[in-house]
Structure 1
Amino acid sequence: MLNISVIVNTVAVIIGSILGLLGGRLLKDRYRKVFFSVIGILTMGLGIEMFLDTNSVLVVLGSLIIGGALGEALDIEEKIGRLAGNKRDDENFVKGFITASVLFVAGPMTVIGSLKAGLSGENELIFIKSLMDGISSMMLSAALGEGVLLSAAAVYLVQGGLVSLAGVLSFLQDPLYLGDFSGVGGMMLLALGIRLLEIKEIRVGNFLPALILSPVLTWVSLLFT
């Protein structure tokens, strides 16, 4: 958990988020709406790109259905919203946290970079990701607020966990597992984009368990091939 690349990535998100929050206060509402639209469109584009790496559509479907059902039962998004404290800001807080968390941890770069750092001490990929996440967090927090800052905790816990358990989780580098994981993350990003553009209100936070279920269902699917 104290790996230097994980710490750098976490700090990059924190610094980017703080700069974005400071800059966001200077934005007029009409410009903030433009930011919302741009982020929504970009999120949808990234989601489609990630989904194209899917190995098994059935695994992605199963992960989202089962994970979504678990999330609804646990009411994950409602619990995240309570962290905002100020009810007026709940919606943006949740959108910011979930959008940033999924964007920062639900991609193959997170998995491969963290496992490489844990197995061989190669930190370069996470350092590159840190720069990307720092810039992204600045843009996201300017539009979505303080929830993006909290996503630094998700980055630290997820990547730190992957680094610490790299020896056990090395199989996740297999393209089959990475593809399905990326596909699930891609569908969640697409749903986030739809939500940010106010096309339909989708409680994407309740689908977070799908990211954990994805490698499990990929493993199960390989037993029958």
Structure 2
Amino acid sequence: MTLFVGAGTVLNVVTVLVGGTVGLLLGARLPDRVRDVAMAALGLGTLSIAVLSVLDVQDPALAEAVGAGAALVVLGSALLGGVLGALLRIEERLERLGHRLRALLLRVGGTRRTPGDGEAGEHRFVEGFVTASLVFCVGPLTVLGAVNDGLGRGIDELAVKSLLDGVAAAAFASALGSGVLLSALSVAVVQGTLTVVGALLGDLLDAAQVAALSATGGLLLLGVGLRLLRVKEVPVGDLLPALVVAPVLVALVRSATG
């Protein structure tokens, strides 16, 4: 059966909403210790996925394209992307968006903040939105899956990602609350845009650029894992432009050395 273009993103949005809702229903019944363990497990799992992605720096196609400088390309992408993201204040804007979405929901729902729902409750909501958005929108499956969907190659990658995101959304929501549900909006915007790009521009990335993107995405996921484990609040949002810089840098290095 042929699915419509964008079906993968629709599926992903639905699984995040369903998983997040299940997590909210379970979260109120779980003791804090269980939720803390769930967050630690997610942090460790994110780190393990990140390491596997970073190892793509050893991909033969990338080595052939840029020679021995593959690691430098990935690090340079993270550095340049981080500087650009810091100048654009992407992390700050994401947090601001989280605050605004929460305020909008309160107005639409006709509810007001209670004394116990002050800064701590707002911080938890925003943390849930930002953290889940970063986890669900950073990584090679997001880019490759959405682009392949746009190219009409099927939704296999996004189907796998949807399953993983649904499980993660349940764990996130149980620990961080309702802000996680709004990460579905981030998934819709990011993957929807990439799907349109794939449909309009056709084949975008070659094997070397995909490997650089994957390794750079792994670095960003390392930052997300450290945040989940409360080791360090890495501004992963500011590093997001690195995902754009990586394939461009590969093309520049290849043309300069070719």
Instruction: Please give the range of the TM-score, normalised by the shorter of the 2 chains.
Output: 0.7 to 0.9
Report the RMSD for the aligned CA atoms in angstroms. Answer: 2.3
- What SS does the aligned partner of 1:154 have? helix
- For the 8 Å contact 1:48–1:190, the answer to whether it is kept is yes
Query: Aligned partners of 1:128, 1:45: CA distance in 2, in Å?
Result: 17
- What SS does the aligned partner of 1:26 have? coil
Query: In structure 1, what residue type is equivalent to 2:7?
Result: I
Number of equivalent positions = 224
Alignment partner, residue 182 of structure 1: 214
Task: Give how far 1:92 is off.
Answer: 3.9
Alignment partner, residue 23 of structure 1: 26
Alignment partner, residue 43 of structure 1: 46
Alignment partner, residue 128 of structure 2: 96
Report sequence identity in percent. 40
Task: Give how far 1:2 is off.
Answer: 6.4
Structure 1 residue ranges without an equivalent (≥5): none
Alignment partner, residue 179 of structure 2: 147
Query: Aligned partners of 2:232, 2:185: CA distance in 1, in Å?
Result: 28
Q: Which has the larger radius of gyration?
A: 2
Distance 1:177 1:124, change over 3 A: same
Distance 1:87 1:68, change over 3 A: farther
- What SS does the aligned partner of 2:256 have? coil
Alignment partner, residue 7 of structure 1: 10
Match of 1:159 among 191, 195, 205: 191
Task: Give how far 1:140 is off.
Answer: 2.0
Query: Aligned partners of 2:54, 2:123: CA distance in 1, in Å?
Result: 26
Q: Deviations over 1:39-91 (max 9, x none)?
A: 11111111111100124222221221122122222322222223235632455
Query: Aligned partners of 1:112, 1:210: CA distance in 2, in Å?
Result: 16
Query: In structure 2, what residue type is equivalent to 1:65?
Result: L
Select between 117-126 and 81-90 the one with higher mean Cα deviation: 81-90
- For the 8 Å contact 1:98–1:151, the answer to whether it is kept is yes
Alignment partner, residue 152 of structure 2: 120
Query: In structure 2, what residue type is equivalent to 1:170?
Result: D
- TM-score by length of structure 1 reads 0.87
Distance 1:180 1:121, change over 3 A: closer
Query: Aligned partners of 1:171, 1:2: CA distance in 2, in Å?
Result: 17
Query: Aligned partners of 2:202, 2:242: CA distance in 1, in Å?
Result: 17
2:163 is the alignment partner of 1:131: yes
- What SS does the aligned partner of 1:224 have? helix
- TM-score by length of structure 2 reads 0.77
Alignment partner, residue 84 of structure 2: 70
